[in-house]
């Protein structure tokens, strides 16, 4: 039935040219991916595009991940229908993007990205119908449509250029990507230097995907990476931010960051990483925090980007804070100045969206308050809406050796104690205690917030 329908479908024509090369066809019995491994939304979208007379394949990371036994993050579709043609098929869809126009098809909360096969004709020609590049060879637009083979060739890595047809349950492979999956080799398509120049984000993708997929980067693919690292300076900060976030939330953040550094790719992203990782305290802090984050991601627990950036930038804040205090500034104003300085620098370099600022600032500026264990101050601190994130952050500082482990233990005990025990804990904390205790006795104690969670847990929104 499906085959009959497909025969009908393939006789239809499209505005996008047909491929001339014959790809390897990998049948189900070899690759083992059933169409029910695709989300209903992606399957429905692909089938409806095919029913309208076009070709439609699941492509990119989803096919790769399924072949590797991983759960795909999202499903992308490639088609020979133009964005306008796709948009006409789906009532709930919209055309998005400028540099790369594609269609978002919505079903419920799920969004499927549908992109038209791209051609690969870079040129510095004035002709708008050609792909334009800047003086470093970076592609400035990518809206030239092509056939499926051309689309495969302009993707980044061979393992990302496999096309799964859900109707036939077949994979089309133009570039021996299937073999590279088998041997776990990450190989860039085409001339490595030219491909990195066209889009320097591919340098980061190589490192990220190799870590995430536990693949070996092919020698020729790896060779130019360190030399071309400065090209990242020309990439719009918002793209760097997106890629960096993917890396940090990949579940392999620690190995990715270590690898980025060894390839010299971190300069454009986290320039302070060198300095931080060279100090034993800084290295311990980031290592513990990223390990923790990776653990949470692998257990499907939420992780907040703001918390992550607070971690990555903390030692930058610390060093600036210390310098300002050494110059005679008072501790709290010095801390706020240091925070402003670090955040404004990172807005330029990494385009950390401003919506994260408030959380990052609060996590940092609450830190000195954990060290004041007298009077009503701890009670007030635990009622702060951002307490949990700041508390998790403080525990990481203790674990890394920046603060005494005793402080962390005290707070853990304080949070799990009842009101009476809390009062007792505070009464053993120093000479100012008595006076403050009398003054605030009428207030009721703040509720227990738990305290059994490990760092980077709650308050991660
Ligand atoms: P992830 O699992 O992180 O989503 P992915 O490979 O699916 O990895 P996406 O950013 O979702 O990454 O991209 C989808 C597909 O688009 C890729 O598999 C690849 O074929 C293509 N692609 C993405 N970025 C580039 C790029 N910079 N250059 C060429 N092709 C790219
Ligand atoms: Mg993807």
Q: What is the pLDDT along the chain (461 residues), one digit of tens a residue?
A: 454 444 344 433 344 555 567 899 999 999 999 999 999 999 999 999 999 999 999 999 999 999 999 999 899 999 999 999 999 999 999 999 887 889 999 998 899 999 999 986 544 444 444 566 676 766 666 678 999 999 999 999 999 999 999 999 999 999 999 999 999 999 999 999 999 999 999 999 999 999 999 999 999 999 999 999 889 888 887 888 888 889 889 999 999 888 888 887 777 666 556 666 667 778 889 899 999 999 999 898 888 899 988 998 898 899 899 999 999 999 999 999 999 998 888 777 666 788 899 999 999 999 999 999 988 899 999 999 999 999 999 999 999 999 999 999 999 999 999 988 998 888 776 544 444 444 444 443 333 333 333 333 333 43
- Closest Cα to atom 28, ligand 1: which residue? 156
Residue 376 lies in a domain: no
Q: How far is the CA of 60 from the centre of ligand 2 (A)?
A: 7
Mark whether 169 and 210 lie in a shared domain: no
Neighbours of ion ligand 2 (CB under 5 A): 61
Which of 183, 214, 236 is where one domain is finished?
A: 183
Dist CA 417 CA 451 (whole Å): 9
Testing ligand 1's pocket by substitution, the residue of 68, 73, 149, 155 carrying the most ligand atoms inside 8 A of its CB is: 155
Residues 130 and 254 both lie in one domain: no
* Same-domain check for residues 215 and 307: yes
Last residue within a domain, chosen from 365, 390, 408: 365
Cα–Cα distance for residue pair 200/158, rounded to 1 Å? 17
The pair phi, psi for residue 25, each rounded to 5°, is: -105, 120
Tell which phi-psi region holds residue 53, choosing left (phi > 0), alpha (psi between -120 and 50) or beta.
left
- Please name which of 148, 175, 142, 145 lies closest in space to residue 160, comparing C-alpha atoms: 175
Rounded distance between C-alpha atoms, residue 345 and residue 384, angstroms: 28
70 CA → ligand 2 middle, Å: 12
**113 and 260 inside one domain:** no
Specify the pLDDT at position 435: 43
Element (H, E) at 335: helix 331-350
- Into how many domains does the chain fold? 2
Q: Quick one: pLDDT at residue 107?
A: 92
CA dist., res. 254 & res. 410, Å (int) = 29
Point out the ligand 1 atom lying closest to the alpha carbon of residue 208: 3
List CB contacts of 242: < 8 A, sequence separation 6 or more: none
Q: Are 184 and 213 in contact (CB under 8 A)?
A: yes
**Domain limits for position 281:** 191-365
Q: Which residues are CB-contacts of 269 (< 8 A; sequence separation ≥ 6)?
A: 204, 232, 240, 244, 260, 349, 350
198 lines ligand 1 (CB under 6 A): no
């Amino acid at each position: 039935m499906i085959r009959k329908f497909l025969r009908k479908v393939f006789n239809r024509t499209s505005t996008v040219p047909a491929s001339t090369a014959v790809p390897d066809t990998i049948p189900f019995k070899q690759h083992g991916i059933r169409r029910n491994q695709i989300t209903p939304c992606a399957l429905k979208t692909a089938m409806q595009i095919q029913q309208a007379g076009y070709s439609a394949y699941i492509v990119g990371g989803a096919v790769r991940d399924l072949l590797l036994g991983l759960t795909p993050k999202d499903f992308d579709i490639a088609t020979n229908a133009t964005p306008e043609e796709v948009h006409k098929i789906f009532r709930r869809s919209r055309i998005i993007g400028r540099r790369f126009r594609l269609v978002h098809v919505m079903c419920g909360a799920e969004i499927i990205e549908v992109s038209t096969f791209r051609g690969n004709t870079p040129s510095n020609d004035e002709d708008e119908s050609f792909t334009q590049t800047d003086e470093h060879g970076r592609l400035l637009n990518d809206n030239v449509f092509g056939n499926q083979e051309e689309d495969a060739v302009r993707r980044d890595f061979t393992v990302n250029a496999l096309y799964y047809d859900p109707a036939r349950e077949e994979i089309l492979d133009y570039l021996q990507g299937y073999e590279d999956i088998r041997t776990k080799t990450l190989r860039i398509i085409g001339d490595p230097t030219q491909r990195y120049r066209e889009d320097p984000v591919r340098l980061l993708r190589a490192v990220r995907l190799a870590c995430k997929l536990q693949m070996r980067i092919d020698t020729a693919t790896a060779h130019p990476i360190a030399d071309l690292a400065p090209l990242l300076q020309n990439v719009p900060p918002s793209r760097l931010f997106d890629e960096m976030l993917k890396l940090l939330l990949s579940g392999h953040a620690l190995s990715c960051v270590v690898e980025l550094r060894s390839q010299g790719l971190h300069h454009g992203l986290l320039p302070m990483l060198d300095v931080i990782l060279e100090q034993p305290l800084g290295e311990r802090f980031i290592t513990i925090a990223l390990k923790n984050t990776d653990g949470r991601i692998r257990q499907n627990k939420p992780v907040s980007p703001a918390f992550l950036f607070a971690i990555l930038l903390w030692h930058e804040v610390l060093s600036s804070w210390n310098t300002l205090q050494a110059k005679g500034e008072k501790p709290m104003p010095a801390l706020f100045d240091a925070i402003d300085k670090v955040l404004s620098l990172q807005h330029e370099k990494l385009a950390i969206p401003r919506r994260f600022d408030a959380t990052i600032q609060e996590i940092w500026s609450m830190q000195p308050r954990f060290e004041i264990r007298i009077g009503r101050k701890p009670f007030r601190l635990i009622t702060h809406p951002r307490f949990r994130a700041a508390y998790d952050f403080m525990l990481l500082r203790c674990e890394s050796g920046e603060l005494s482990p005793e402080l962390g233990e005290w707070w853990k005990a304080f949070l799990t104690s009842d009101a009476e025990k809390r009062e007792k804990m505070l009464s053993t904390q120093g000479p100012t205690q008595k006076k403050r205790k009398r003054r605030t006795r009428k207030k009721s104690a703040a509720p227990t917030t738990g305290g059994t969670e490990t760092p980077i847990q709650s308050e991660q929104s």
